[in-house]
A and B are shown apart, each in its own frame.
Chain A
Amino acid sequence: EIVLTQSPGTLSLSPGERATLSCRASQTVSSTFLAWYQQKPGQAPRLLIYGASGRATGIPDRFSGSGSGTDFTLTISRLEPEDFAVYYCQQYGSSPITFGQGTRLDIK
């Protein structure tokens, strides 16, 4: 099983700042089958990024994904108030599908 470790656990930033979230895999993620999701309280997760760097439909271009192999990054270039949420990475290249434990992005 591929274990995904996200860091930091909590990130406190202000609107307008840049956020960099990390997701490290215990083994190589096949063919960059890595996705990122955003989840707000009481809501289902929302797909942001697929294939490590592909932006999902309707996602603003301030969200970007990068990385390959075992190291992946989600970057939010300029934080908007609605971006404060929990973010999860997911690998779907190997069974079982696994998720990271999440990074909470808080308003500073």
Chain B
Amino acid sequence: EVQLVESGGGVVRPGGSLRLSCAASGFTFADHAMSWVRQNPGKGLEWVSGINWNGGSTGYADSVKGRFTISRDNAKNSLYLQMNSLRAEDTALYHCARVQFCSGTSCYRGNFDIWGQGTMVTASS
């Protein structure tokens, strides 16, 4: 079964750090670009960051640029998001998502055909 399972969420004080992980199974992880997408409870979807198949190309939303770092380990079939200098507005459910078809030469963007259930991040004092 094709599956993405996120972990690493939790409650952290503003200014703190968290590292999210996403474990992939059921498909060849190295064949796909990946992304993180977040959703505030009861709100819409916001793309956070994307990475191409080998980690050589990445992209970030302006709201997280300079604070968050996306990475991957194809040998471990895993995607990561290092989140530093967390703010209250970063509070959300964080999904990892598999890119089905990528766009652009850097190929970290695309549509998402497989989603994980998400891990909740709460930045609150």
Contact = CB atoms under 8 A, between A and B. Distances in A.
A81 interface: no
Interface in A65-85: none
A33 B111 contact: yes
Interface of A: 1, 30-31, 33, 35, 37, 43-47, 50-51, 56-57, 88, 90, 92-93, 95-102
Contact of A47 (B45, B113, B117): B113
Nearest to B112: A47
B103 interface: yes
B107 to A, nearest CB: 11
B103 A92 contact: yes
A14 to B, nearest CB: 25
A31 B45 CA distance: 22
Contacts of A98: 47
B79 to A, nearest CB: 15
A10 to B, nearest CB: 14
A50 B44 CA distance: 19
Nearest to A100: B44
A45 B62 contact: no
A9 to B, nearest CB: 11
A50 B103 CA distance: 12
B59 interface: yes
A50 B47 contact: no
A45 B103 contact: no
A92 B110 CA distance: 5
Given A35-B112, A56-B100, A97-B109, 17 more contacts: A1-B62, A30-B103, A33-B109, A37-B112, A44-B95, A45-B45, A45-B112, A47-B111, A47-B112, A50-B113, A57-B113, A88-B44, A88-B45, A90-B112, A92-B103, A96-B61, A102-B45
B78 to A, nearest CB: 18
Nearest 5 CB-CB pairs, A to B? A44-B115, A97-B47, A35-B111, A99-B45, A50-B111
B101 interface: yes
B35 interface: yes
Contacts of A88: 44-45
Contacts of B112: 35, 37, 45, 47, 90
B90 to A, nearest CB: 16
